[in-house]
Amino acid sequence: MNATVIVFPGSNRDRDMIAALTAIGGKPPRVVWHQSDALPPSDLIVVPGGFSYGDYLRSGAIAARSPIMQKVRERAEAGVPVLGVCNGFQILTEAGLLPGVLMRNASLRFVCREVKLSVENTDSVFTSGYRPGAVIRCPVAHHDGNYFTDDETLARIEGEGQVAFRYAQGTNPNGSRNDIAGVFNDRRTVLGLMPHPENLIENAHGGIDGRPLFEALLKAA
């Protein structure tokens, strides 16, 4: 699989993502610095987690306006799968590639723990490896993961099957509306999620519930 990982100043989960893509995808991904305006041919583009630009202004806001994101937008429009994890999810919403916004956690606390996620829609290149309705384990680590959108957009994304993952009942760590942990774009070719599937791919991690996501992408590539 020809995967590309975009790196910004302040990205810090890029190495975890590179390790996961290398282990499952069979070869190391290309790594592209945010100021580049050249994006290699890719079967998958990943915007990893971290604190790009120190979360200045709003989480992901500055990174979303960097030169490489225009190229990412063009590829996304052409149908190339784009995955954003944690800060990557924040960047993709700020870039307008995904609906909604990630606000400060309702508790005002940074949350770093394992949650349970229900897989809400398995009809995508990201989630086809999961059983419909599966509940998986996944770690979260964020301060701004409180998914918000207006009533109209919420009804639309719920109705169109754009909710990819939901925090299983009673485990919502951040106040997200409708317990939303991850959303697709309308074509389900772009996915953003706050939890870190790249951190649960081998037994040494304590579980492998993140593997099916990467294996499905490999299969689709």
Kindly list the catalytic residues: 86, 196, 198
Q: Is residue 105 part of the contact set for other proteins (CB under 8 A)?
A: yes
Q: How far apart are CA 177 and CA 212, in angstroms?
A: 26
For residue 106, the minimal CB distance to other proteins (Å) is 5
For residue 53, the minimal CB distance to other proteins (Å) is 12
Q: Is the dihedral of CA 51, 52, 53, 55 positive or negative?
A: negative
Which of 104, 116, 137, 205 is close enough to bind other proteins by CB under 8 A? Answer: 104
Q: Is residue 150 part of the contact set for other proteins (CB under 8 A)?
A: yes
Phi then psi for residue 207, to 5 deg, are 170, 165
Which of 39, 80, 95, 103 is close enough to bind other proteins by CB under 8 A? Answer: 103
Q: Which range in 55-63, 74-82, 117-125, 128-136 contacts other proteins by CB under 8 A? A: 55-63
Q: How far apart are CA 134 and CA 14, in angstroms?
A: 27
Q: Is the dihedral of CA 197, 75, 40, 12 positive or negative?
A: negative
Q: How far apart are CA 129 and CA 8, in angstroms?
A: 30
Are β-strands 44-47 and 82-85 bridged in parallel, bridged antiparallel, or unpaired? parallel
Are β-strands 163-167 and 111-119 bridged in parallel, bridged antiparallel, or unpaired? antiparallel
Q: Is residue 108 part of the contact set for other proteins (CB under 8 A)?
A: yes
Which of 27, 57, 112, 155 is close enough to bind other proteins by CB under 8 A? Answer: 57
Which of 148, 158, 168, 220 is close enough to bind other proteins by CB under 8 A? Answer: 148
How much is the CA Rg of the chain, to the nearest whole Å?
Answer: 16
**Is the CB of 143 or the CB of 188 nearer to other proteins?**
143
Q: Is residue 178 part of the contact set for other proteins (CB under 8 A)?
A: no
**Is the CB of 118 or the CB of 176 nearer to other proteins?**
176
* Angle (deg, nearest 10), helices 14-25 and 211-220: 60
Do 144 and 59 form a contact (C-beta atoms < 8 A)?
A: yes
Q: Is residue 101 part of the contact set for other proteins (CB under 8 A)?
A: yes
Q: Is residue 209 part of the contact set for other proteins (CB under 8 A)?
A: no
Per-residue interface string for the shown chain with other proteins, residues 58-97, x marking contact by CB under 8 A: x--x---x----------------------------x---
Do 128 and 122 form a contact (C-beta atoms < 8 A)?
A: yes
Q: Which residues bind other proteins (CB under 8 A)?
A: 57-58, 61, 65, 94, 100-101, 103-108, 146, 148-150, 175
